[in-house]
Amino acid sequence: MLSSSSLIWIGALLLGLKASLTRASDFQHHAYEEMVRALFAVQSDCPYITRIYSIGHSIEGRHLYVLEFSDNPGIHEALEPEFKYVGNMHGNEVLGRELLIYLAQFLCEEYRAGNERITHLIHDTRIHILPSMNPDGYEIAASQGPEFNGYLVGRGNSKEVDLNRNFPDLNALMYYYEKHNGQNHHLPLPDNWELQVEPETLAVIKWMQNYNFVLSANLHGGAVVANYPFDRSREPRIRGKTTYSASPDDKIFRKFAKTYSYAHSWMHKGWNCGDYFDEGITNGASWYSLSKGMQDFNYLHTNCFEITLELSCDKFPPASALASEWLANREALVSYMEQVHHGIKGIVYDENHNPISNAVISVAGINHDITSGTDGDYFRLLLPGTYTVTASALGYQSFTSTVTVGPAEAVQLHFYLKVQPKRTNLHVKFYPNKKGASTAKIPPTNLGPR
C-alpha cells in the first residue's frame, strides 16, 4: 500500500503541480500561536506577493489575521477581482483552518517554483485568506484534543455564540421585497446592528464593507458537501419538510458548488458521512433552513457570492488524516478560486472618462444587481450565454448593452454614462392656502437610481 507522502507526490504529478508539502510529517494542527507563526513565515518567504493584516479581535483579544496574495499587496487594482476564503467559523470544525494554512504555504512555494498556473492566479487576483474566524472557539475545542472533542464543544465563540447564526437577518427583508418589487441588492442593515453581533462577526462585516469581494467560500466540517444559497427557507418551517430556496443566481451557484465537488477527490460521489447529496452539492434550505448565516449575508449585503464547503465527516480529524485531506482538497481550492474570473467585468465612466462608483449593474432576467467599486470597476459573475446588461447611476442616463459570455475568462464590457439632462419644463400648480396665499406643488419625480 502506498504511503500518504507517496500519494501526495503522485497527486502532485497528476495535477501538474510541484511537490510542496510532500511528507506526512509536514501536516499538523496549529494552535493560535503556531498558526500566526506559520502565516508570518509565508509572508517572510514570499514578501513581494503577500501581506498580513488584522481585521479585528476575538472576544479574548486574539487577532483575526488575514494573509493576502497579490502581485501588488495592499492595493486594489482596477479590473482585478477580490477573492476570500474563511475558515474555522465554528471553532471545533478545524479542517478548513488547516487547509487554508497549507494553501497559503502552497501558493507561496508554487509561485517561487515558477508554476505558471499559480503565478497567473496571483497576478490576476487579489486573494484574502482568513484561516480562523473563531480562534477562541478553536482553543476550547483543541484543549480536549481530536480524540475527545464533543460535537458542540468549541463550536461557538468564547461566549458560546454560534457565529453562523449571528449576522443580521436580511433574508426576511429580501423575501418581502421579492413580493413588493423592492430592492434586490445591498440590503440595508437594521438600526443598532453593531450592538447585536459578536466582535468576530462585526470584524468580518466591516471587512466585507471595506473590500469589494466578488467570490468567497466558507469552510466548515461535519459533512462533505458544497452548500449554496439560500440557506433560509422562504416557506414557514414544517416539521420533517424542507423546501428548496433558490436565489436569483441559482444556476451559477450550482456551477460553483459543482466546481468544488468534482475537483474534490470524493465529494462528488454523493455518499459521505451517512448522507447522500446528488453530485455532492445542496441548496442550503433544501438541506435544513438556517437563519442569520454568513453565506446569505454576503449575497444580500455586498457584491460577493459565497458558498459553504462542508469538508469532513470528523469535525476535528486527527493529524494523521490531514495529509490525505489536503490532497483531496488542493485542486478544488485552486479551481474554485479560478471561478472568480468568469462572466463580465468592466469600468463605468462618465463622459469625461472619470470612474463612477456605486453604479448599478443589472442583467435582464436575473433579479439581483451588483454595484461598481470605488474605482468604477465591477465584476458580474455569469454563466456562458448572451445577456442584456444595463448600467445606471444617480444623475446619469442609463445605458444598455448586449454581451456574449464564453467559457473562458471574463469578457470586458465598459460603460460610458451621460449626465441626466436637467428638467426645465416642470409644470408648477399653485393652490390657495388657508390664509389666502399661494402654495406651490411640484409633481413628484423618481429620485432613485433606477
**Lookup result for grid cell 484574502:** 128
Cβ-contact 217, 336 below 8 angstroms:
yes
Query: The C-alpha cell of 387 is what?
Result: 445577456
What is the four-CA torsion angle of 106, 328, 303, 39, rounded to 10 degrees? Answer: -30
Cβ neighbour number for residue 32 with a 10 Å cutoff: 18
Name the nearest CA neighbour of 265 among 224, 227, 228.
224
**Lookup result for grid cell 442593515:** 189
Q: How far apart are CA 66 and CA 69, in angstroms?
A: 10
What is the four-CA torsion angle of 279, 12, 71, 123, rounded to 10 degrees? Answer: -60
Cβ-contact 268, 262 below 8 angstroms:
yes
Contacts (Cβ under 8 Å, ≥6 apart) of 97: 30, 35, 87, 88, 131, 132, 138, 219
Cβ-contact 366, 248 below 8 angstroms:
yes
**Lookup result for grid cell 457570492:** 305
DSSP assignments along 281-308, one per residue: EEEHHHH---SS-HHHHHHHHSS-EEEE
Catalytic residue among 80, 310, 331, 338: 310
Contacts (Cβ under 8 Å, ≥6 apart) of 201: 163, 166, 167
Q: Which helix (H) or strand (E) holds 206?
A: helix 199-210
Name the nearest CA neighbour of 138 among 92, 79, 71, 200.
92
Q: Is 3 helix (H, G, I), strand (E, B) or coil?
A: coil
At residue 51, φ and ψ (nearest 5 deg) are -150, 140
68 is catalytic: no
User: Maximum distance among all alpha carbons in the chain?
Assistant: 100
Helix 116-124 and helix 322-338, axial crossing angle in degrees, nearest 10: 50
DSSP state of 189: P
Which residues form the catalytic set? 310
